[in-house]
A and B are shown apart, each in its own frame.
Chain A
Amino acid sequence: MTFVPTLIGVTFIVFIIANVIPANPARAWAGGAKASPEVIERVIEEYHLDEPWYMQYLFLMSKLLRNEIRSPYTHNKIWDDLIFGTRQSGGAGSTYGRFFVSLQLALIGFTYVILIGIPLGIISALKRNTIIDSAVRVLALVGVSTPVFWLGYLLIYVLYVKAGIIEIAGMPEPSQRLTGIMVLDALLLGEYKIAWQIINRLATPAFVLGFISIGAVARVTRNSFLEAWNADFIEYGKARGLRKSKLIWHAFKNASIPVVTMLGMHFAFLLGSAPITETVFSIPGLGRYLLDSIKNFDYPALIGGILLFATVYMLINLIVDIIYAFIDPRIRY
């Protein structure tokens, strides 16, 4: 399907970015002003920095895809940093790559959105034009207008500086990677304390992430439910003598289509907002990795990070499309 050519195009964009990179970072990677000429030489050799840009790009891409390239800054292999974890036999390093941390954060945020947003939407549909309805509308508006960092700092100020309830340093993780979802793995391994710590650490940042979407999802749920409820086939259902619970089921199934689409969009958005939230709460996730690599002129890492982001983003959209085709018989390939 259209997935593959888009993927190629994505790498092309990444390539453009890579191409525009300031020239000759070798010195910085070798350690800065004090770097000895031999180290600089080695760096240039390792990263093929003396070759023309298209060769550099090909080199970078091929090495990247085979996880053979090391970040000049962390000296770990990039995919290890990002996905596989950098655990060494001594027990140091992390079991999980940055990606899974961000994933866990996004999943918890998403849970907020579903558990709060959808019921709110249904309630405001049932209680149309009442105070609850207006409140949800305002919530949606405010949610979409809130800068992520502001909300984050507000909560940090209240919950950390003043009340001291939450943690904003460190990132606990389970001892083994099983499913990739940290909380799930901890539970499966029986490491309940660790699971609780993870949830504690991520609960507030995940709420900040999710807050933006809660109102919007509630609104869409409300509107699509109302639209489905006012549809002709519901009137026809009444004319056929169907009982109310049956009619609600018909409306619900029809309403779920736009809601699922919107949920998918918002999950992708959650992931995309990661850089800011992770910075505010000092979470070692994919977003922060991106930003750190910028600070450290770590361009291979930057490229790898962007590539990963794009791939995951596309995967999510693909999954949403598939779910959509599953629910709606009018869309079948």
Chain B
Amino acid sequence: MAEEVYEKKMLDKLSDVLIKTLAIFMEKIRPGWSIRNKSRLDEWRLMLYALNRSTLGLIGLAIVLTFIFIGVFGPAIAPYSYSDLLIYKDVKYRFIPPGGKGPNGEIFILGTDEWGRDMLSLMLYGARIPLIITLLVMVIGAPIGIFLGLVAGYYGGKVDEIIMRITDIFLAFPSLVLAIGFAVVLPDRIKNILETNLWLQDILLAFFAIEPVDAPRLANLLAVIIAIAVVWWPGYTRMVRGSTLSIKENIYVEAARAMGMGSLGIMFKHILPNMLAPLLVIMTLDVGSLILLEAGLSYLGIGAQPPLADWGRIVYDGSKWLYRGYWWLSLLPGFLILIVVLGFNLLGDALRDILDPKVRRSIEFKIKRKR
């Protein structure tokens, strides 16, 4: 797997280049932007420096970027292609341990499974589904949750009560259990909808890059996405509502209202930006939890179905061989999940630190003294 290692000083210069590019880009869209936002740009640069000083944060970032890379390009760089994996190979290829050699001298870095398939390729294929599902759940669930939280916190009164009551109902379930519930009963319904709306099915198949022959898996995939999204949005609503309630009390909100700004405007221009920092941290940390939830569902057999490759599912398929001593079938994908989630958590932790102005200042002083 490709991973590049930088020297420390170069990272700072890289950060400068990044910020400068951003500034140039924004200038083109809105002239005068860089001057108006100079102090903001300086703060962002300082944030990047702070990130560069946090070893764990950089490791997290590296892991996250690698994961995204594998998710997108995994199948392309896998040594053995997808269609090969479906052919039942020569018995001699089965259960080769990691680092072992095949009958023709090929080296299998991560070994092979019960079908003789290369584990390394399987791992590279298996990152895509978790990545897609996580992204989609974030893209669907988070905005809904945030919007509802803003509305509830801002308007208060009956609206608040209704929204919070609904949120509480969803939060009354353990996430996994509720996700299981939805993920089990939705596929059939979705299948019906897709079969009666073939145009929808075609669009979605293309979007997910799924072969038409595997169409039934699509319903399953959609069900999982919807199930997890349903379980996920209430957490954001509650958190955003709390933040909105306290931000709402600030004078500038009242001032904006006095100047005639509409409610939606206030919510999005004044209240939301003030909670972006902690929100970003929570979202990063949440990605880790989402991946775990998705892997859990797949492991239980409820998530993505073969032949769609998914790390959690691979663990399930390999678990029965554990007792024969073939540990790498199930322990390897599980370990990868651990690393990826750890990466997101490390990154989120580092983000939490660099978004804290006090920490940034102390780093600023340390850097300045060196200069």
Contact = CB atoms under 8 A, between A and B. Distances in A.
A5 B185 CA distance: 25
A144 interface: yes
Interface string A301-324: 010001001100110010000000
Contacts of B186: 20
Interface in A1-20: 2, 5-7, 9-10, 12-14, 17, 20
A65 B268 CA distance: 46
Contacts of B296: 147-149, 276
Contacts of A306: 173, 177-178, 181
A277 to B, nearest CB: 10
Contact of A145 (B168, B323, B338): B338
A262 B182 CA distance: 28
A314 B174 CA distance: 9
Contacts of B184: 294, 302
Contacts of B147: none
B150 interface: no
Contact of B182 (A17, A149, A160): A17
A269 B174 CA distance: 7
Contacts of A271: 174
B338 A22 contact: no
The prevalent SS among residues of B at the interface is: helix
Interface stretch (A35-43, A52-60, A150-158): A150-158
Interface bin, chain B: 35 or more
The prevalent SS among residues of A at the interface is: helix
B180 A310 contact: no
Contacts of A13: 169-170, 173, 178
B176 interface: yes
A150 B300 contact: no
B72 interface: no
Interface of B: 165-166, 168-170, 172-178, 180-182, 184-186, 188-189, 288, 292, 295-296, 299-300, 302, 312, 315, 319, 322-323, 325, 327, 330-331, 334-335, 337-338, 341-342, 345-346, 349
A161 interface: yes
A142 B349 CA distance: 12
B194 to A, nearest CB: 15
A325 interface: no
A53 to B, nearest CB: 13
Nearest to B169: A9
Interface string A269-297: 10111011001100000010011001000
B317 to A, nearest CB: 12
B168 A161 contact: no
28 contacts: A2-B168, A6-B165, A6-B172, A13-B173, A22-B185, A146-B338, A147-B334, A147-B338, A149-B296, A149-B319, A150-B330, A150-B334, A153-B327, A156-B322, A157-B327, A161-B323, A269-B174, A272-B174, A272-B176, A272-B177, A273-B174, A273-B176, A276-B296, A279-B300, A287-B177, A294-B302, A309-B177, A317-B172
A291 B330 contact: no
A22 to B, nearest CB: 4
Given A153-B334, A160-B323, 17 more contacts: A9-B165, A9-B172, A10-B173, A13-B178, A17-B182, A22-B185, A145-B342, A147-B292, A147-B315, A149-B295, A150-B337, A153-B322, A153-B331, A161-B327, A306-B178, A313-B173, A317-B172
A116 interface: no
A144 B341 CA distance: 8
B337 A147 contact: yes
A231 interface: no
Contacts of B327: 153, 157, 161
A62 to B, nearest CB: 21
A17 B227 CA distance: 11
Contacts of B345: 141, 144-145
Given A10-B173, A147-B296, A149-B296, A157 B342 contact: no
Interface of A: 2, 5-7, 9-10, 12-14, 17, 20-22, 141-142, 144-150, 153-154, 156-157, 160-161, 268-269, 271-273, 275-276, 279-280, 287, 290-291, 294, 302, 306, 309-310, 313-314, 317
B173 A309 contact: yes
Contacts of A287: 177
A313 B172 contact: yes
Residue of A13, A150, A268, A317 most packed against chain B (CB within 10 A): A150
Given A161-B325, A291-B300, A302-B184, A150 B335 contact: yes
A160 B324 CA distance: 11
Given A153-B334, A302-B184, A306-B181, A141 B349 contact: yes
B300 A10 contact: no
B299 A149 contact: yes
A13 B174 CA distance: 13
A294 B180 contact: yes
A154 B166 contact: no
A264 to B, nearest CB: 13
B121 to A, nearest CB: 20
Instruction: Sort A-B residue pairs by CB-CB distance and give the 6 closest, nearest first.
Output: A272-B174, A150-B334, A9-B169, A145-B342, A145-B341, A22-B188
Contacts of A276: 176, 296, 299-300
Contact of A10 (B172, B175, B188): B172
Contacts of B299: 147, 149, 276, 279
Nearest to B289: A144
B172 A314 contact: yes
A20 B189 contact: yes
A225 B184 CA distance: 43
A325 B121 CA distance: 54
A156 B326 CA distance: 12
B173 A147 contact: no
A20 B185 contact: yes
Residue of B177, B186, B299 most packed against chain A (CB within 10 A): B177
A275 B181 contact: no
Contacts of A146: 338, 341
Nearest to A317: B172
